[in-house]
Amino acid sequence: MPMQFLNSIYKIRRINDASSHQFLLDLEELKHVLTSLPTLQASSNESATAPSKPNETYQLFVNKNIQKVESRLKVLGYPLDQIKEAYQTLVTEEVGASEDDLKCILTIRGVQTNEFKKYMTNFINSL
């Protein structure tokens, strides 16, 4: 679900700073809903007992996937002159950093394809 959220954002032509912050808020709400789903199901099945805490494995799964999206959305909020460094810092190999991913982020921020080289120099070597 979180990666579908990110893919939907990548389909948008341009995003400004305010939009990226709103997406972060929306993602936080999505995280809250996803982590509370097992609790909601348990409370509807066991009406007499108090809702239980979600499984730790499930919480780790949700947090890991949300982190992948969150790091990319944070990069969108940086000024263009700092976006490459922000991407390298926030989006690590653990969360799937790639050259194509950075290109998607640059496209959303309004960078023209012929200007990618300016942002992509030494990117592959730095991963």
Q: What is the DSSP string of 18-78?
A: HHHHHHHHHHHHHHHHHHHHHHHHHHHH-TTSPPPPPPHHHHHHHHHHHHHHHHHHHHHTS
pTM given for the model:
0.77
pLDDT tens per residue across span 104-124: 888 888 888 888 888 777 565
Token pair for 33: 């809903």
- Identity of the residue numbered 21: H
* Structural tokens at position 34: 């996803």
User: Which pLDDT belongs to residue 42?
Assistant: 58
d(CA 39, CA 54): 6
